[in-house]
Amino acid sequence: MSYNSQRFDLLLLADMIAENSRVLDIGCGDGTLLKLLSENKNADARGLELNQAGVNACVAEGLSVMQGNADTDLAFYPDNAFDYVILSKTIQATKRPDLVLKEMLRIGKHAIVSFPNFGQWRVITSLAFKSQMPVTKNLDYTWYETPNVHFCTIKDFSNLCDELDIKVVDTSILDEQNQKLKIPSWLGLNNLFGHQAIFLLTKN
Amino acid sequence: MNHVSDIFIDPEPIKLDCGDALHYQLSYETYGTLNANKTNAILIFHALTGDQYVASTNPITKKAGWWANMVGAGLPIDTDKYFIICANVLGGCLGSTGPASTNPDTSEIYGLTFPIITISDMVRAQVRLINHFNIDTLFSVIGGSMGGMLVLEFAANYQNRLLCAIPIATGSRHSSQNIAFHEVGRQAVMADPNWHGGNYHNHDEQPSKGLAVARMAAHITYMSDQSLHEKFGRNLQDRDSVSFGFDADFQIESYLRHQGMSFVDRFDANSYLYLTRAMDYFDLAAQFDDNLMAAFAGTHIRFCLISFTSDWLFPPEESKLIAQALNRVAANVSYVEVASPKGHDAFLLDEPEMFSAVTGFLASTAQKHGICDKGSK
């Protein structure tokens, strides 16, 4: 299987995961990441997906997937059932991102969260100069139909982790081409130029 | 396809849940070839009125196997890859010991003197059959409806003897509504004067009318309102107007009568009483202090649950309950809900999403355990 640059974020995310781990991917979509982790990391990878047709397609591909929703269905898993619980580009669509994060770190030793950065300059300029809600490659919904109800910036997310006493083990910031941001982080410009962020978290 | 019909006569009696010990035999079919390591065996459990002829012609009805669209060369349960075993359940009437069998102690047909059989008893007997094949670990157990109950029972109580399980259109217990429908069926059989308190064999009669009514009532529960409407609507049978009488004016009446009458030719009335009772008694959680989670605690079995949206006999909620219990013990579980208007019977019909789920699930599990390499025969 080959992964184009569109999927570079998934490769970066997979890099954070140790071999032979038990992984739950919440909002696993068509199962691309599950497949990547099963094949390249020998992971025991399971998926949770909102859309039943998507679930059925994943199972037909041989993946272990159930229908479910991040806000309500993590309650059915026991403590520390997984080594990693992944929420990829989904946290902004959950009802209570803070509670979802807590649940992820209850059922998993680590949580990995990737999300579009609402602090990126394109988003800011759209709001500041066009007086319009941004519609970008990562945020391609108009305001009235978007499922994304809880946007945050990289800084917001870091603050939430502090508040919930969650330890940030690692971060990866991606640019608009889905490549690692080439600006050195000490310049403090991640929030402005980061298009997407990936956080590896654990309990403090 | 390598296909064998045989009978397993257990030299040892089986201890039943009701306390009795029973000498028994199981009539079974196998398809495909057991590999040298005996790792490619799949046990299929049939439904209430199913039989061992899962992929071969039923000798009584002359009809193709009841899952001929699922089991065969190149089909989801591929006989080129797997060795498939399907036995008539204990209490059945197609060659396995049941109420129509002769009691060796009295040389008379058991009738109602046959002991009450449970789903656990049926599974216990089939585990002996697996032992007879010297199969240590089954690759999979698969079944729909009552067959799904046997799958769950097997998975809960013989965790180390299978790698994966596919319970389809089933539940971890029979609901009150399901028991109610079964009771209607049983009362219809018992109300037939030809039933003779279960002794009809000695009177050379069959409670055909009662059993036919039982089948008619049950058949309604296998279909959905929508599928009945689409198939029959209010269409009249071979006439232009109603007859102002109690003939089968409507196509649905004619259809149900036909279903009832053709059923009695292939099924023993007492066996119907015993098997429906076994389903009524099934409550997997009850074996584990009413805790369904406990039934699966520590399991390494990979599960794939399948249900159908219009199934009101075993609605998707029943499968979801099982899936959630499996989640609570962090078991590896997939749950496929197929959008189908065909009701409970959908699991026997042409449902491409069910076929692709079974194909993908079995192939990936086999690959993981190195059981049959891709494309190998």
pLDDT exceeds 60 at position A55:
yes
CB-facing half-sphere around the CA of B350: CA atoms within 13 A:
0
Residue B336 contacts A where some CB pair is shorter than 8 Å:
yes
Distance of CA B156 to the CA centre of its chain: 17
Nearest CB neighbour to A76, from listed B328, B361, B365: B328
Residues with Cβ within 8 Å of residue B240, at least 6 apart in sequence = none
CB-facing half-sphere around the CA of B111: CA atoms within 13 A:
18
Nearest CB neighbour to A62, from listed B327, B332, B363: B363
* ipTM, two decimals: 0.88
Residues with Cβ within 8 Å of residue B271, at least 6 apart in sequence = B91, B92, B93, B98, B99, B100
3-class secondary structure, B2: coil
Q: Are B52 and B95 in contact (CB under 8 A)?
A: yes
* A61 interaction partners in chain B (CB closer than 8 Å): 360, 364
pLDDT-based confidence at A187, cuts 50/70/90? low
pTM given for the model:
0.94
pLDDT tens column, A101-117? 999 999 999 999 999 88
Q: At A71, phi and psi to the nearest 5?
A: -70, -35
Interaxial angle between packed helices B269-281 and B119-132, expressed in degrees from 0 to 180 and rounded to the nearest 10:
100
Quick one: DSSP state of residue B222?
H
Q: How far is B31 from chain A (nearest CA, A)?
A: 24
CB contact under 8 A, A62 and B338: no
Relative to beta strand A196-203, strand B302-308 is unpaired
Q: How far is A55 from chain B (nearest CA, A)?
A: 7
Q: Which residues pair with B22 in a beta bridge?
A: B14
3-class secondary structure, B79: coil
Residues with Cβ within 8 Å of residue B25, at least 6 apart in sequence = B7, B8, B9, B10, B95, B96, B97
What's residue A204's pLDDT?
Answer: 87
Residue of A nearest to B325 (CA): A76
pLDDT exceeds 70 at position A5:
no
Q: Residues for chain B: how many in total?
A: 377
Residue B301 contacts A where some CB pair is shorter than 8 Å:
no
Nearest CB neighbour to A62, from listed B337, B353, B364: B364
Q: What is the pLDDT tens value at each position of chain B, 377 positions in all?
A: 899 999 999 999 999 999 999 999 999 999 999 999 999 999 999 999 999 999 999 999 999 999 999 999 999 999 999 999 999 999 999 999 999 999 999 999 999 999 999 999 999 999 999 999 999 999 999 999 999 999 999 999 999 999 999 999 999 999 999 999 999 999 999 999 999 999 999 999 999 999 999 999 999 999 999 999 999 999 999 999 999 999 999 999 999 999 999 999 999 999 999 999 999 999 999 999 999 999 999 999 999 999 999 999 999 999 999 999 999 999 999 999 999 999 999 999 999 999 999 999 999 999 999 997 544 43
Q: Which residues pair with A24 in a beta bridge?
A: A46, A85
Q: Which helix (H) or strand (E) holds B30?
A: strand B25-31
In the predicted model, what is the mean pLDDT of residues A38-52? 94
The pair of three-digit structure tokens given for residue B69, joined into one six-digit string? 């669209």
Residue B361 contacts A where some CB pair is shorter than 8 Å:
yes
What's residue A119's pLDDT?
Answer: 81
Q: How far is B63 from chain A (nearest CA, A)?
A: 30
Q: Which helix (H) or strand (E) holds B354?
A: helix B352-368
* A77 interaction partners in chain B (CB closer than 8 Å): 327-328, 330
Residue of A nearest to B323 (CA): A66
The pair of three-digit structure tokens given for residue B208, joined into one six-digit string? 């055909």
Q: Are B309 and B338 in contact (CB under 8 A)?
A: yes
Please name the residue that has the structure tokens 């060659």.
B95
CB contact under 8 A, A65 and B302: no
> Radius of gyration over alpha carbons of chain B, in Å?
21
Exposed e or buried b per residue across B272-293, where buried means at least 16 C-beta atoms within 10 angstroms of its C-beta: bbbbbbbbbbbbbbebbeeebb
- Cα dihedral A80→A84→A88→A94 (10° resolution): 10
CB contact under 8 A, A60 and B364: no
Pairwise CA distance, residues B278 & B283, whole Å:
10
What's residue B299's pLDDT?
Answer: 97
Nearest CB neighbour to B330, from listed A53, A65, A78: A78
Q: At B136, phi and psi to the nearest 5?
A: -80, -50
Exposed e or buried b per residue across A87-117, where buried means at least 16 C-beta atoms within 10 angstroms of its C-beta: bbbbbbbbeebeebbebbbbbbebbbbbbbb
Domains in chain A with CATH codes: 5-117+150-203 (3.40.50.150)
Q: How far is B336 from chain A (nearest CA, A)?
A: 5
What's residue A124's pLDDT?
Answer: 82
CB contact under 8 A, B335 and A55: yes
What's residue A195's pLDDT?
Answer: 85
Distance of CA B134 to the CA centre of its chain: 24
pLDDT tens column, A131-142? 888 887 767 888
Nearest CB neighbour to B360, from listed A22, A46, A62: A62
CB-facing half-sphere around the CA of A32: CA atoms within 13 A:
14
CB contact under 8 A, A62 and B336: no
Q: How far is A26 from chain B (nearest CA, A)?
A: 14
Q: Residues for chain A: how many in total?
A: 204
Residue of A nearest to B305 (CA): A66
Catalytic site positions of B: 145, 311, 344
pLDDT tens column, A142-179? 888 888 888 899 999 999 999 999 999 999 998 887 78
What's residue B376's pLDDT?
Answer: 42
**How high does pLDDT run on average in chain A?**
89
What's residue B373's pLDDT?
Answer: 56
Q: What percent of chain A has pLDDT over 70?
A: 94
* Region of residue B162 (phi > 0: left; psi between -120 and 50: alpha; otherwise: beta): beta
The pair of three-digit structure tokens given for residue A69, joined into one six-digit string? 């929703």
Domains in chain B with CATH codes: 3-174+283-368 (3.40.50.1820), 178-277 (1.10.1740.110)
CB contact under 8 A, A64 and B334: yes
| Cα dihedral across residues B152, B153, B159, B164: positive or negative | negative
* Interface mutation vs chain A, best among B327, B332, B359, most A CBs within 10 Å: B327
Pairwise CA distance, residues B347 & B349, whole Å:
6
Pairwise CA distance, residues A158 & A199, whole Å:
9
Residue A204, class by beta-carbon neighbours within 10 Å (0-12 exposed, 13-18 middle, 19+ buried)?
exposed
3-class secondary structure, A33: helix
Please name the residue that has the structure tokens 């060796």.
B104
The pair of three-digit structure tokens given for residue B177, joined into one six-digit string? 């509504």
* B329 interaction partners in chain A (CB closer than 8 Å): 78
CB contact under 8 A, B332 and A61: no
Q: Are B325 and B284 in contact (CB under 8 A)?
A: no
CB contact under 8 A, B357 and A60: yes
Nearest CB neighbour to B359, from listed A56, A60, A78: A60
Q: How far is A137 from chain B (nearest CA, A)?
A: 32
What's residue A134's pLDDT?
Answer: 81
Question: Which residues of A make CB contacts under 8 Å with B?
Answer: 22, 44, 46, 52-53, 55-56, 58-67, 76-78, 81-82
Q: B324 to each of A156, B293, B319, B333, how far by Cα in Å?
A: 34, 8, 9, 9
